Structure 1
Amino acid sequence: MTALTQFQRLEATGVWRPHPSERLRDVIVSFGDATLILRDPRSEEPLSHWSLPAVTRLNPGQMPAIFAPGDAEQDEVVEIDDTLMVQAIERVHSAIAASRPRPGRLRGALVWTMVGAAVIAGAVWLPDTVIAHAARIAPPAQRTAVGLSILADMRQATGAPCDRASGAAVLDRLSARLLGPDGRIVVLPATMRGARPLPGRIVVIGDDMIAGEPGPQVAAGHVLAADLAAAQSDPLLEVLQKAGLPAAVSMLTSGELKARAVAGQGTALLLRPAPRPADDVLLDRMREAGVPSAPYARSLDPSGETVLALIEADPFRAADPPEPLMSEGEWVQLQQICAR
């Protein structure tokens, strides 16, 4: 059944009560072979199997949705608050019901009416919901893989990332300082006028942020700004929205996003202006990271007129940060990262 196959990887949390005399317990709800499976979230052990054709919703139109395994005995129930899972259960239930043989002259009309309704409903809510769900449940390794695909698309326009060994070692330490152990800064031999966030906590800057600058403060400011922008607007969601529903479904079912699905997105990202988060949020992040805001502000507007708040509220305007981003020798090494 196509409707069932489409949602076989879909999972959601729920609250299950096997009997009115027993306590509610957390479960994972997923699709099986024409069944709804309730599993223990810790052991993954199946706790109950419900026949999808017999599943009944006890509170239509209300959330969280309450389902029972049949019409007769409704002692066993599960509450689900995940909109996509609720809609998927009802859609699959309807599709299975529509596929049953129906006596009488109206059978064909009823079947096609249901199919038409499912198609219309799918066209309205399914694309955006599935794309958002695919972005939300993607594990870190999958996010990083997509980020590297975008980076590979970028390098077609800029050339390979800069990786001279001495500079790369300094860049790794700067990445850990600004982004933490799961973040990564990549330098491309290009003029980017800022940083671009990619899925997987990858932040890309051009060597214009390094070459000719007196210190690492400008590059650090742009990296923090890009990482904050990524926290506010998920880069993976943007990638999937541009790639479309088939790509999102493919990622849900196969765990991969094909290179052709992101073709051109990296180049397009290079042409977009660098993201700029709200000044107050950025200033807090810079204060925590020990990065002055004035150099970053001056790189945006040398006159200072449009970035006056960032200059005047520089957390290190009166005194240097307690710990420098790197030594002068390390900065010289980083400036040579694109040298061949």
Structure 2
Amino acid sequence: MTALEEYDRIEAAGLWRPSPDVQRTDAIASIGDATLVITDLRERPLAHWSLPAVCRANPGELPAVYHPDGDPGETLELAESEHHVIEKIEQIRSAIERKRPHPGRLRLVVFLLVILSVVLASVFWLPGALRRHAVAVLPEVNRAEIGSALLERIQTVSGAPCNSGRISALEQLAQRVTPDGSLPPNLLVMRDGVRDTASLPGNTILVGRNLLEDFEEPSVVAGYLITEQARVGQEDPLEVLLRHSGVVENIRLLTTGNVSEDVLQAYAEDLLTEPPAQIEEQSLLAAFEDRGIASSPYAYALDVSGESTLGLIEADPLIGAQPLPILSDADWLRLQGLCGG
């Protein structure tokens, strides 16, 4: 055995007995390459113990008492005076122990890894999985209820929407900016608090009155609505709300279909103050092209110099084309006066 190469026949005097009911006998214990050989004083063999199977009955105590693994009745007792031999035996036992497999340690490591995996999953995977599941299974009626509850809280800042009922011009605008096959959003023009656009669960988009009153043509508000729809396609408004609320609120939504008052209030405030998510330019240009609406008016509304929105200007999909009108002049004038001037 490699671990035992430094030991070359070390001997010590001791007391040996084959069983508890037999008197102890003077003996010589010799440490060989891989065995502990016990002989009488005439060097007649009494026992051969395999070193890997030698156990100590009284660790840390003297005289040291050893026995073969599985047979504590057969013992070898070494007095304190044989401390150099005791130390060698202990070194050998430690070296052998280090080379043995430790299934208990492996089980502990596996257990700790499982616990770590569960903790990491709870922190990083579970919240996202719960959000995605809630978004996928929540009925439209619950989405609409959550959107209405959010709107109530937003109205404490913004006031009531300017359009309290059906406005045909708004419905036409919603249809014009929505791709074929999709349900047009419900547009609500807000007096204050909403600077540009914001989406609520239930397919509702809030529109700041400035987008109607500060521009001469409807292509600007159409651009903002196309961009807002792109954000909704990128991330569901319900998922954005749930990301603000945490795991407990996600579970509450899945079990009751409702969101707590505190979460709704906090999210309503964040919705009006947080900057909107950015949309990749090529995706946005594709959305403008799909609707047949120019992107340049929207780009100049974002930056009057055009420096930061040059891509939307130079790659405008309708440069040199004659797009279909977004709204008639009469409908656009009606919208501009919707909030009373």
> If the length of structure 1 is used for normalisation, what is the TM-score?
0.60
Is the contact made by 1:154 and 1:267 (CA closer than 8 Å) also made in structure 2? yes
Query: Does structure 1 residue 329 correspond to structure 2 residue 323?
Result: no
Identity among equivalent pairs (%) = 30
Provide the rounded CA distance (Å) in 1 between the counterparts of 2:329 and 2:213.
Answer: 14
What are the superposed Cα offsets for residues 285-339 of structure 1, whole Å, 9 maximum, x if unpaired?
1112122111100111000011111111112221221x21110000011112112
1:139 alignment counterpart: 139
Please state whether the residue corresponding to 2:213 is helix, strand or coil: coil
On the 8 A contact 2:193/2:272 being kept in 1, the answer is no
Is 1:152 the equivalent of 2:137?
A: no
Which residue does the alignment assign to 2:230?
A: 228
The letter for the 1-side match of 2:137 is: I
TM-score in terms of structure 2 length: 0.60
Q: Mark the CA change 1:276 to 1:193 in structure 2 (over 3 Å): closer, same or farther.
A: farther
Matched, 1:249 2:248: no
Q: 1:119 to 1:274 in 2, by over 3 A?
A: closer
CA distance in 2, matches of 1:262, 1:177: 31
> 1:102-155: CA deviations, max 9, x gaps?
xxxxxxxxxxx9xx9699588445444323321222222222222222222222
In the superposition, relative to structure 1, how do residues 276 and 130 fare at CA in structure 2: closer, same or farther (>3 Å)?
A: closer
Report the Cα offset of residue 256 of structure 1. 2.2
- 1:314–1:121 distance in 2 versus 1, CA, 3 Å: closer
- Distance change in 2, residues 1:121/1:176 (3 Å): same
Once residues 258 and 221 of structure 1 are traced to their aligned partners in structure 2, the CA distance between those partners, rounded to angstroms, is: 34
Pick from 238, 241, 244: which aligns with 1:239? Answer: 241
Are the counterparts in 2 of residues 195 and 206 from structure 1 also a CA contact under 8 Å?
yes
SS in 2 for 1:316: coil
CA contact (8 A) 2:158 2:194 kept: no
Give the Cα–Cα distance (whole angstroms) in 2 for the partners of residues 244 and 199 of structure 1. 17
Question: Quick one: which amino acid aligns to residue 230 of structure 2?
Answer: L
Query: Secondary structure of 1:210's match?
Result: helix
Q: Alpha carbons of 1:145 and 1:185: their partners in 2 closer, same or farther (altered >3 Å)? A: same
Aligned mates of 2:237, 2:297 — CA distance in 1:
26
Amino acid corresponding to residue 336 of structure 1 in structure 2: G
The residue that corresponds to 1:315 in the other structure is 317
Do the aligned residues in 2 keep the contact of 1:191 with 1:207 (CA within 8 Å)? no
Partner of 2:280: 278
Distance 1:120 1:336, change over 3 A: same
Q: Is the CA contact (8 Å cut-off) linking 1:286 and 1:293 kept in structure 2?
A: yes
CA RMSD, aligned part only?
A: 2.7
Question: How far, CA to CA, are the matches of 1:209 and 1:143 in structure 2?
Answer: 26
Q: Distance in 1 between matches of 2:122 and 2:265?
A: 25
More relative contact order, 1 or 2 (CA 8 Å, 6+ apart): 1
CA distance in 1, matches of 2:120, 2:277: 35
SS state at 2:334 partner: helix
Report how far residue 253 of structure 1 moved.
1.3
The one-letter code sitting in structure 1 at the alignment partner of 2:266 is G
The 8 Å contact of residues 164 and 336 in structure 1, kept in 2 or not, is answered as: no
239-248 or 126-135: which moved more? 126-135
Q: How many residues align?
A: 225
In the TM superposition, residue 245 of structure 1 has moved relative to its aligned partner by 2.1
Cα deviation, 1:227-254, whole Å, max 9, x if unaligned, reads: 1011112221121121222222122112
Partners of 1:264 and 1:156 in 2: CA distance = 13
Unaligned stretches of 5+ in structure 1? 1-112
The letter of the residue matching 1:163 is N
Q: Which has the larger radius of gyration?
A: 2
Paired residue for 2:95? none
SS at match of 2:133: helix
Q: Which residue of 1 aligns with 2:261?
A: 259
Distance 2:308 2:237 in 1: 27
Secondary structure of residue in 1 paired with 2:325: coil
Q: Distance in 1 between matches of 2:259 and 2:184?
A: 21
Flag structure 2 segments of 5+ consecutive residues without an equivalent: 1-110
CA contact (8 A) 2:189 2:208 kept: yes
Counterpart amino acid of residue 155 in structure 1: Q
Kept after mapping to 2: 8 A contact 1:140/1:200:
yes
Structure 1 counterpart of 2:168, which letter?
A: A
